[in-house]
Amino acid sequence: MTINVQRAAALACLAKTGMWRNSYEPPLLRLLWRLGLNVPPPHFAGFIVTTLFYGGFFALFWGVIMWFFTWSESGMSPTGAAGAALFAGVLFGLIMASYYSWGRRKHRLPGWKNLLPKE
């Protein structure tokens, strides 16, 4: 089964749960799919992968924004800023991974490898 068929089956399964579309198909993920990256929907990705994906994205962008608007003017060192951004990214990543893991259990979703499209 190709990733596109598997992704379509996953999205159909998630749509039946009654979740908001942006919850199971976030705009950032849709952008990655358009760019050709084969990433599973967050409810089907592993806990560590989800933590790293969301945490890394958040740490990078939040850290840059905070550096330019607050931290550089307050005299914070680049190392301190990187540490704060990393801490915030790990925390955000863990929260998002926990949210998607909870949704996976709540809706009794099958595993990514066990997902079969409806024929």
Looking at residue 111, the DSSP 8-state letter turns out to be P
In a domain, 119, yes or no: no
Which residues span the domain enclosing 76?
3-114
Give me 14's structure tokens: 């998630």
Residue 58, CB-side half-sphere exposure with 13 Å CA sphere: 20
Specify the pLDDT at position 80. 95
Q: Give the contacts of 70 (CB within 8 A, at least 6 positions apart).
A: none
| Residue at 10 is within a domain | yes
Q: Count the domains in the chain.
A: 1
pLDDT band at 94 (very low <50, low <70, confident <90, very high): very high
- Dump pLDDT digits (tens) for 23-78: 899 998 999 999 988 888 999 999 999 999 999 999 999 999 999 999 999 999 99
Q: Is 52 within a domain? A: yes
Distance CA(34)–CA(30), nearest Å, equals: 6
